[in-house]
Amino acid sequence: MIRVLGFLAAIALLGFGIGWLIERPGEISLVWQGWQIDTSVPVALAAVLVLTILLLLGWWLVRTVVGVPEAFSHFRRGRRRRRGMTAVANGLMAVGIGDGRIARRSASEARRLIGDEPLTLLLRAQAAQLSGDREEAEAAFRAMLDQPETRPLGFRGLYVEARRRGDAAEAYNLAERAVKANPNAPWAGPALLELQGVRRDWDRALESVQRNAANRITSRADAKRQRAVLLTAKAFDLSDRRSEEALELAREATKLAPDLVPAAALAGRMMAEDNDYRRASAVLEKAWKRAPHPDLAEVYVHLRPGDSAADRLKRAGILQKMAPGHVEGALALARAALDAREFDRGRTALSPFASAPTRRICLLMAEIENAESGDIGRARAWLARALTAAHDPAWIADGIVSETWEPVSPVSGQLDAYEWKTPQESIAAPGSPLIDENMPTARESEPDQPAVAAPLSAPEPLPAAPPPQAAPSAAMIEPASAAASSFAPAVDVAPAKPRPQRSEVLLPLHRAPDDPGPDDEIDAVASRPY
């Protein structure tokens, strides 16, 4: 509405001006070079207006004629660019549906038409990955490093390719360069932290945790947990050489993560070695209330080296009262009762779990029966039940069962991957894209898939239960053979320090020479109500 009113006002003013000039015609006389021109003012103004229009038209015509070559070149460039962008679009759609032939053809056409632009380089890399041409993919990612817009993607792509071919040194170098170039990159910080954990470079890993938290790549809670795990790992490495520093690291780890069992067990053991039994008990009891664990029970029960079996039984009773109804408290009490030769108390502690016992319960009951009366038949019945009993919880990471906790997974290199679970409940087939906001691990090992679509390989299944004719070993669960990490050979990894393991003496399954015991007797004993 305002524009219409403005237009009408302009028309009115123009008409008023023309009328004003007509009412006041006046005269203009021009003498130049013997020529004399006499005319009225309106006619002179009209002549000036026409001359101005002619001059403008002439200038436009000259500019048009002079700029024809440039306009033609611009037209050709625009047409080539439109064709190139169409080829990029077709290529990306081909990548999406997995057609490597069309993707590579579109990438070649786009590169010919518009050169190495960001989208062209991306299509080139994706098409090469889809076709399995790793050299071409790496060449495209290296070309991305020359342009600021594509440099982050270039680092990311080269890192993925290095992990795929198992070159940990190159992967580490690329992750470090990516962090220096852009500390806020969501993948670079976690990737560098993972590789530092594989190298057991705990000091630099701690710096990476702090940097990731400062850049808000990881939450404060996750950063505290990661720091606690790294401090525990460093404390284990220093526990024999510099015990005071190791103790301080373990104590700090327990403050950051009170439920981290390895940290609490190590701190309690080292405090007990320094005769600081009160603090050791406090640390172990705090961790036990949050997560009852056999390692904590072992350290707590044997806290004082000179304690008698009765004293150890008393301490085991304290653990059971702190976690009533928990199987670990019952096992700790039953083990201490066996050592104190209070067999009824040990049997009573395990009775709530006898209807569906695990392997450790069966083996401990077999020891109780054998130590109390030497009844080989009842002991063998419990050993027979152990063969088919449910697995006890164990440290598991990426489908690998381990007797001891480690800070880093041997398969994926992930920090804090070990969980205390039963093997059947913890094995799963994960899947996630390789080029994603979440940092991919060493599972990026499929050689024939693109970085945007390759799924993670499922872990190997756990070994089946042992055959009936073989006695169960002293370890409750045999660890699965861990697949070697795809990047382990290229990294100078310090060997993990062995930790003392508690062994259990089991009864043999074979019959003694003077034992006529028929199999029916064993079945009858095993089927008795507990």
Mean pLDDT in order along the chain per 10 residues (530 residues): 85 79 73 78 80 90 82 80 90 90 90 88 90 90 91 93 92 95 92 94 96 94 96 93 89 94 95 92 94 95 92 94 93 95 94 92 94 87 92 92 92 92 58 36 38 35 37 33 35 41 34 39 38
Query: Which residues on adjacent β-strands are paired with residue 420?
Result: 395
For residue 325, give both structure tokens.
């109804």
In which residue are the tokens 């609490």 written?
Answer: 264
What ranges in 183-307 are assigned the alpha helix state H? Answer: 188-198, 202-214, 220-238, 243-256, 261-273, 277-290, 294-301
For residues 462 and 402, give the distance between their C-alpha atoms in angstroms, rounded to a whole number.
11
Q: Are 88 and 123 in contact (CB under 8 A)?
A: yes
Q: Are 301 and 316 in contact (CB under 8 A)?
A: yes
- 94-110 b/e with 16+ CB inside 10 Å = b? bbeeebbeebbbbbbbb
Classify residue 65 by burial, with Cβ atoms within 10 Å: 0-12, 13-18, 19+: exposed
For residue 328, give both structure tokens.
């670990």
For residues 124 and 139, give the distance between their C-alpha atoms in angstroms, rounded to a whole number.
9
For residues 478 and 403, give the distance between their C-alpha atoms in angstroms, rounded to a whole number.
8
Nearest CA-CA partner of 300 in 333, 268, 261, 338: 268
152-218+428-457 under CATH 1.25.40.10, yes or no: yes
For residues 15 and 519, give the distance between their C-alpha atoms in angstroms, rounded to a whole number.
125
- Note the pLDDT of residue 439: 38
Spans of all domains in the chain: 152-218+428-457
Greatest Cα pair distance in the chain: 154
Q: Are 264 and 270 in contact (CB under 8 A)?
A: no
- Note the pLDDT of residue 15: 80
- Note the pLDDT of residue 66: 83
- Note the pLDDT of residue 492: 40
Beta pairing, strands 394-397 & 35-40: unpaired
For residues 379 and 525, give the distance between their C-alpha atoms in angstroms, rounded to a whole number.
9
- Note the pLDDT of residue 67: 79
Q: Are 223 and 190 in contact (CB under 8 A)?
A: no
Q: What is the pTM of this model?
A: 0.67
For residues 303 and 286, give the distance between their C-alpha atoms in angstroms, rounded to a whole number.
15
User: Residue 419: which H helix or E strand, with range?
Assistant: strand 419-421
- Note the pLDDT of residue 260: 95
For residues 43 and 29, give the distance between their C-alpha atoms in angstroms, rounded to a whole number.
12
- Note the pLDDT of residue 46: 79
For residues 353 and 337, give the distance between their C-alpha atoms in angstroms, rounded to a whole number.
16
Give the list of residues 6+ apart from residue 349 with CB closer than 8 angstroms, or none. 320, 330, 333, 334, 337
- Note the pLDDT of residue 213: 94
